[in-house]
Structure 1
Amino acid sequence: MILQFWGATKTVTGSLHYVQTKGTRFILDCGLYQGHRDEAESNNRNIPVKHLEELDCLFLSHAHIDHSGNIPTLVKSGFRGKIVTTEATADLISIMLLDSAYIHRKDIEYVNKKRRKKGLPPKKPLYTKKDVEEALNHLEPLSYEKWFEVSQDVRVIFYDAGHILGSAIILIEVQEDNVKKRLLFTGDLGRKDLPIIKDPHQVENVDFLITESTYGGRYHRPYKEVSCELRDLINVTYRRKGKIIIPAFSVGRTQEIVYEIQNLHERGELPDIPIFVDSPLSVNVTEIFKRHPECYDEEALEIINNHENPFGFKRLIYIKDVEKSKALNNINEPCIIISASGMCEAG
């Protein structure tokens, strides 16, 4: 077996790992490198794996763009295999890659405007909506804890990683020279006791481990402590007649915040304050969350079984319309506005 690490090694973004056995070739993740514009463009346009047309599969751990965002470039560059991922992740990347294509288009329009002033030829976006649609044709959704046979000697199974909806730990079993080896790729791991989704699955008897260490040296406070801090900040700002602006990732963080605010409100720990989710992508992602209760933990499932919506309550308003988004600037009463973290850059 041969392993090569082409991304997310000295940096956090651009996850891309290559695996070769005697009879198969496949990759784990294909994320966007995110950094300085020129450096990012160079890294993202040039897929380092040779003979992409001979790859059997891409196994995708989850939908975050630093793990999935360069899939259209992969397909555009010659990849013809299957993109195997969980059912929830397949749904999520179907909208996230289209959103990414839109951001690339807007970014290249800005770049070309400056290039025209300098008499330079225009550049093309990294990929387009059409490229995304072609890439999505390669999707092969796979349920958790079901084996996928790559070949007679290689098979793959997904376990819940507890990171975001649909995230997977990928276990690969390889039989070579009558010896079985187990390679585990964790992707991004969640932590215990996060709301909505299940805790990470524990996998044993592994020969080789590929894992991420973004927070390897950082202490995370207990979730209850964070919830209390959120409650206190909202209450203090409300008494000052201010607005609470929360930038949050569209996938995972937004839904966790909505879920926790709803819990605090139902326990009588928050005032009757309007809450706006001001991000079209977050709204679409939340709809996908509703379609995948197989990823929920017991507490979230209990809410569903009681015919309640874990992502909707009386004072919560989801906004997709641009004019309604602009109208938030004119609100003169205390409120909570949750917007995609990209509002600070591309949103």
Structure 2
Amino acid sequence: MDVVELTSALIAAESITPAQGAVFDVLEQALVPIGFTVERFVAGEAPDGPVENLLAVRRAGAGPHFAFAGHLDVVPPGEGWTSSAFDPQVRGDLLYGRGAVDMKGAIAAFTAALAHLPAAGTVSLIITGDEEGPATYGTVALIERMQATGLIPDLCLVGEPTSSARLGDTIKIGRRGSTVIDIDVPGRQGHVAYPHLADNPVPRLVRALAEIDGIVLDEGTDWFQPSNIEIIDLTVGNRATNVIPGKAAARISIRFNDRHRGQDLIERIERIVHTHAPAAIVRGRVYGDAFLTEPGRLSDVISDAVEARLGFRPELSTSGGTSDARFLSRICPVAEFGLVNATMHKLDEAVAIPDLHDLTAIYADILRRVFA
């Protein structure tokens, strides 16, 4: 199985989030001939669904269960590509196309690695069509399906593009959590010349935001940078010059380390807001709590395989945004390792062809070490 050909075939199957259909056909057709049983199912309803998912399993006697997780959906390509985003093209040493690095290339590399190895233990692929979107019915639904059948991995590798300057320089062993909180403060509209007949919500909201902005959640930990709260929107929508507005709203985003839980942070913000604006409505959504897989067997196996192929050891990191590893961490140790992320989500996304071959070899070595 050629990793460049498989990556190209996956790119050519347009799969803007939520992905479905053809791109799953391509992967299934690659997995079945190498001994995998493939289950595809659709989960959820509008507005966050339906979402197509794929769970593939190959069992070969006693041994550990190693899982690879990833997503086939991609972000919209945008305008201005040199060639069509879903027409994979090789120019020089680069393969261009949306999803080349995030993360069809890694899925292809892992599949190609498996094609050249004798079956051992249990290997599963946990592949969703909705990681770039709400992620409500993607990996979460896959985990529920696995738990219902007792198919719990011992170790899991997520093929996100974690490398920064060169392939292999970074492994993610954790991620910060993320929550977004909307604040709506009601008032009573009136004429600015008669403020006693109105109720201006803006000062109350501003005072609440000032207190929130002054919060120092922590100074960071051994593995995580400091948590941060950012005010990302402030809306009144009042175009008149002589009207006290009847409402004001704001939105804040919190990225937090493993000293905090998302729901606790929502409740803390709610208490502050209600101190200044008792009638305010506060709505929060936790997109994922922080997690950390302490350095150990999984990170050692990945690091050893990288060093054997590339001659250096990766940095262990928890930087960056969220990924589906936040869900998988609930059931087993998980780490993320994949391609260079310099062009992900950008115009003319591209992967270096030598990196695809190196990543395939590294994934194959990881499997050998796990099943040795």
From the CA coordinates, give the structure whose radius of gyration is larger. Answer: 2
Q: Considering the TM-score relative to the shorter chain, is it more than 0.5?
A: no
- The TM-score, its normalising length taken from structure 1, stands at 0.23
- The TM-score, its normalising length taken from structure 2, stands at 0.22
Which is helix-richer, 1 or 2?
1
User: Which of structures 1 and 2 has the larger relative contact order (alpha carbons within 8 angstroms, sep 6+)?
Assistant: 2
